[in-house]
Structure 1
Amino acid sequence: MLKTTVEMEKAAMILKLLGDKTRLTMVKILDIHDCCVCEFVEIFKASQPSISQHLRKLRDVGLVKEERRGQWIFHSINKSNEYYPFVQQIIEQLPSQDHKLEELDRKGTRIIC
């Protein structure tokens, strides 16, 4: 397996971004599932502007990408990002967050297009 290294400054920047529990949870969820801002608003019980700010920070470094589907914009992990292998090693160590999306399904607040 080819290992790539990340410069110390870049690693520190990524770790700082992921040092926020909300962003870390978002990245874990987005690694498997595409989500809309409104789903994260429900999951984190946070305001839409707050959630959008977290996503913007992740998008600014290219870890998260967005795709418009009808009226909704869905976010997902950009697995082609140069930092993804580094991030993947971190999030593989975290517990699944699928229960958060399953709760949205139970409440009927999950967006399925």
Structure 2
Amino acid sequence: MLKTVVEMDKAATVFKLLGDKTRLMMVKLLENNTCCVCEFVEIFQASQPSISQHLRKLKDAGIVTEERKGQWIFYSLNQNYDHFGLIEKVLQQLPNQDHKLKELEEGGTRITCC
């Protein structure tokens, strides 16, 4: 198995982005799901501009991708990201957060924008 080494500055960038609890939880949620901004607004009880700012930072770094469906944008984890293996190793150490999306479903607010 070929082992990929991540340059220090690239690793520092990834850890800086994931060092924010909101972004870290977003990435963990996106590990197994595709989410819209409105879902993150509900989960984090934060403003849409605040959530969009977090997602923009993750997208600009290449950690997440977006797909437009009509007027809505859905985000997912970019498995083609150059340092996906590093992110994957971090995510393996974290508890599953899918219950937060289940709570939205049960409350009728999962994907409220669609």
Q: What is the TM-score normalised by the length of structure 2?
A: 0.95
Instruction: Name which of structure 1's ranges 49-58 and 68-77 shifts more when overlaid on structure 2.
Output: 68-77
Partner of 1:9: 9
Partner of 1:99: 99
Query: Any stretches of 5+ residues in structure 2 without a counterpart?
Result: none
Using the TM superposition, give the Cα deviation of residue 52 of structure 1 relative to its aligned residue in structure 2, in angstroms: 0.3
Q: Percent identity?
A: 65
1:106 alignment partner AA = E
Distance across 1 between alignment mates of 2:2 and 2:22: 31
- 1:14-69 CA-partner distances (Å, limit 9, x unpaired): 10110000000000011110000000000000000000000000001101100011
Instruction: Name which of structure 1's ranges 2-11 and 17-26 shifts more when overlaid on structure 2.
Output: 2-11
Partner of 1:30: 30
Distance across 2 between alignment mates of 1:87 and 1:2: 17
Partner of 1:62: 62
Instruction: Write out the 4+ residue segments of structure 1 that deviate beyond 3 Å after TM superposition.
Output: none
| Root-mean-square deviation over aligned CA pairs | 1.2
Partner of 2:50: 50
Q: What is the TM-score normalised by the length of structure 1?
A: 0.96
Distance across 2 between alignment mates of 1:2 and 1:24: 27
Q: Aligned residues, how many?
A: 113
Distance across 2 between alignment mates of 1:86 and 1:19: 14
